[in-house]
């Protein structure tokens, strides 16, 4: 790059800048622009960026750093939401793809929003009228287009609706013959060109629904055998593999399984709640509230503990919250604490910064 600054060192310096600073550096010279735009730089930037989660509190969105350096999260980054904050309510959820959010708002409004460029686009409602309508947001590499997908219930069936950002319109797609399917979480998990949800019709009929963003086809995948009857399950991605995170509330165990190329499941983590909670705290009944794998293959878990020692205890003293990051690589646990001003925040999912340019969404 120059005799004074080797390219390898320049990459390490630039990769530690914020997205806004990188945008300025792109304009410094052609050499820096080409370096920042290189695919290898984007991968390095993603690898060393801190682990962040998006949360909502008091009708505002925050990014919380969970990287093992600061055990107390004191200065969360408040995102400047481009619309009226009154549209954010308890049913609000966030989907994420390539650094861009899809946010559900009051009255079933959908907005796609890049929190760093503050570009946004309101997506027309295809007919959603319930907070339980599932949603997926992802990138279809075949058509080079970003897409949203939801299922709209009819009298005897459901129809998949796909929003193509390239055309700016919803396409009615495949018919789903079972409108009585229910879903563990309305937010789908994106991997490659597929969206996944955990679905069920009863405690013994549980499966993963997979939707192809390119062909608009769907099919059912089997869950791990021991998942049947477990009520608390989440989907995630680790090492570019689909995984299921399960919490068994009676045994108080957290189990993570990954799907191999053969379609079989392989358990990679099995932890007890007692691995997280100190002995002196075990008089509280702790239950898992939120759990997610991180981009660095850690496991982030939040617990809510309940104390039932008499009715005269103040409400805030009967409930306690704890947050942990379990590092799989070295089998260690780190506890985090939120500052008092964000004690009631609700975690919505991990946010991974990316240098992928998604301007085509906002055209």
Provide the pLDDT for residue 256. 92
- pTM reported for the whole predicted model: 0.86
Provide the pLDDT for residue 14. 84
Using an 8 Å Cβ cutoff, are 42 and 22 in contact?
A: no
The pLDDT tens digits of the residues spanning 105-157 come to: 988 889 999 888 888 999 998 888 777 788 999 999 999 999 999 988 776 77
By the 10 Å C-beta count (0-12 exposed, 13-18 middle, 19+ buried), 239 is classed as exposed
How big is the CA angle at 96 (ends 90 and 98), to the nearest 5 degrees?
160
In this structure, of 8-22, 211-225, 300-314, the range with the lowest mean pLDDT score is: 300-314
Provide the pLDDT for residue 303. 87
Q: Which residues pair with 211 in a beta bridge?
A: 195, 218
pLDDT band at 71 (very low <50, low <70, confident <90, very high): low
Provide the pLDDT for residue 297. 79
CA-based torsion, 19, 23, 24, 25: positive or negative: positive
Rg (CA), the chain: 21
CB atoms within 10 A of CB 76: 21
pLDDT band at 167 (very low <50, low <70, confident <90, very high): very high
Task: Indicate the average pLDDT of the chain.
Answer: 82
Provide the pLDDT for residue 102. 93
Q: State how far Cα 104 lies from the chain centre.
A: 14
Instruction: Please state, in angstroms and rounded to a whole number, the distance separating the CA atoms of residues 3 and 353.
Output: 31
Q: How far apart are the first and last CA of the chain?
A: 35
Strands 332-338, 319-327: pairing kind: antiparallel
The pLDDT tens digits of the residues spanning 326-350 come to: 988 888 888 887 766 566 778 888 8
Provide the pLDDT for residue 161. 92
278-299 average pLDDT score: 80
The pLDDT tens digits of the residues spanning 202-255 come to: 666 788 999 999 999 999 998 886 655 556 889 999 888 999 998 888 888 899
Copy the structure tokens of residue 3: 């005799």
Provide the pLDDT for residue 138. 94
With residue 243 as reference, give the H or E element that holds it: strand 241-248
3-state secondary structure at position 127? coil
Provide the pLDDT for residue 213. 95
Instruction: Please state, in angstroms and rounded to a whole number, the distance separating the CA atoms of residues 324 and 254.
Output: 13
Instruction: Please state, in angstroms and rounded to a whole number, the distance separating the CA atoms of residues 346 and 324.
Output: 15
Instruction: Please state, in angstroms and rounded to a whole number, the distance separating the CA atoms of residues 352 and 296.
Output: 11
By the 10 Å C-beta count (0-12 exposed, 13-18 middle, 19+ buried), 289 is classed as middle
């Amino acid at each position: 790059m120059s005799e004074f600054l080797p390219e390898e060192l320049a990459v390490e310096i630039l990769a530690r800048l914020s997205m806004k600073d990188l945008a300025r550096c792109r304009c410094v010279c052609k050499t820096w622009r080409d370096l920042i735009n290189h695919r290898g730089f984007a991968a390095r930037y993603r690898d060393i960026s801190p682990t962040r989660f998006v949360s909502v509190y008091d009708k505002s969105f925050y990014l919380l750093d969970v990287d093992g350096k600061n055990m107390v999260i004191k200065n969360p980054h408040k995102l400047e939401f481009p619309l009226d904050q009154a549209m954010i309510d308890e049913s609000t959820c966030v989907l994420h793809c390539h650094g861009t959010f899809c946010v559900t708002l009051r009255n079933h409004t959908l907005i796609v929003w890049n929190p760093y460029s503050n570009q946004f686009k309101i997506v027309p409602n295809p007919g959603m009228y319930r907070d339980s309508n599932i949603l997926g947001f992802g990138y279809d590499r075949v058509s080079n287009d970003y897409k949203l997908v939801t299922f709209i219930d009819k009298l005897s069936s459901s129809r998949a609706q796909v929003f193509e950002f390239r055309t700016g319109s919803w396409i009615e797609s495949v018919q789903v013959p079972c409108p009585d399917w229910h879903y563990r979480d309305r937010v789908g998990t994106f991997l490659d060109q597929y969206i996944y949800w955990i679905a069920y019709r009863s405690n013994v009929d549980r499966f993963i629904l997979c939707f192809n963003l390119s062909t608009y086809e769907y099919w059912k995948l089997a869950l791990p055998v021991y998942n049947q009857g477990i009520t608390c399950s989440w989907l995630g991605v680790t090492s570019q593999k689909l995984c299921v995170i399960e919490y068994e509330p009676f045994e108080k165990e957290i189990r993570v399984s990954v799907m191999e190329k053969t379609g079989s499941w392989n358990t990679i983590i099995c932890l007890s709640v007692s691995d997280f909670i100190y002995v002196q705290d075990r008089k509280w009944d702790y239950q898992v509230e939120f759990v997610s794998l991180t981009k660095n293959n850690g496991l982030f878990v939040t617990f809510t503990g309940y104390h039932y020692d008499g009715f005269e205890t103040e409400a805030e003293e009967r409930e306690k919250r704890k947050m942990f990051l379990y590092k799989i690589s070295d089998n260690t646990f780190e506890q985090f604490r939120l500052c008092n001003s964000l004690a009631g925040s609700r975690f919505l999912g991990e946010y991974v910064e990316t240098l992928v340019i998604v301007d085509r969404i906002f055209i």
